[in-house]
Homo-oligomer: A and B are copies of this chain.
């Protein structure tokens, strides 16, 4: 594992060098906090971007660790993916930046971009682990409470892996950066409005037996993000 992110031309942040985070820990932070990735593939020469759940293993078998994602075997973007480079982008919107001019309005965010050629994960131990990681990425601690996948479950699922080698992280934080003459005018309010994703109270499925309590790993999720 390298300490800094890949400096390939494709993932070198061309604009706003000061916003490029070079530490791998910044990448893990974004991957930990993001619920869905936006997966970009090329279909008939046009880009297609679709949301997908994911997980990562910093000690996975690929160079610099492994990003896992999955889907139905019927999903066209996944079926086409192994033949080409894909892009997975995970973005957290942390706040709105309200400047004194329209031009300097912005969004506080953290965004990770990972490029790679997907590797189908067919080896049973790695595939099972990847599926557990994806569940635990949504709800930490849940995977071990579930029955193992059936043969039918597995037959309907494609698991793909991309190396975390070719990755970049970009972020913006802090208040509005205005032109000096706008600050001096002093007549327009500027600042930020933080945005947070907040989990609500769990809603039990109506087909659950009434005596079944909300498990600890679900209650912990609500407390943790509250």
Contact = CB atoms under 8 A, between A and B. Distances in A.
Q: Bin the interface of chain A by size.
A: 35 or more
Interface stretch (A21-29, A58-66, A188-196): A188-196
Per assembly, the copies of the chain total: 2
Contact of A50 (B89, B196, B200, B201): B89
Nearest to A186: B209
Interface string A3-20: 000000010001100000
A124 interface: no
Contacts of A145: 188
B36 A93 contact: yes
Contact of A193 (B15, B38, B157, B200): B200
A224 to B, nearest CB: 11
A119 to B, nearest CB: 16
A125 interface: no
A14 B218 CA distance: 33
B40 A49 contact: yes
A75 B170 CA distance: 14
A35 B91 CA distance: 11
Interface in A27-52: 35-36, 38-51
Contacts of A161: none
A157 B186 CA distance: 25
Contacts of A187: 212
Contact of A200 (B178, B196, B205, B215): B196
A96 to B, nearest CB: 5
A51 B205 CA distance: 34
B102 A15 contact: no
Interface in A74-116: 74-76, 84-89, 91, 93, 95-96, 98, 100-103, 105, 107, 109, 111, 113, 115
13 contacts: A10-B48, A14-B74, A38-B89, A42-B46, A47-B87, A51-B89, A95-B200, A96-B139, A105-B134, A189-B204, A189-B215, A191-B204, A193-B218
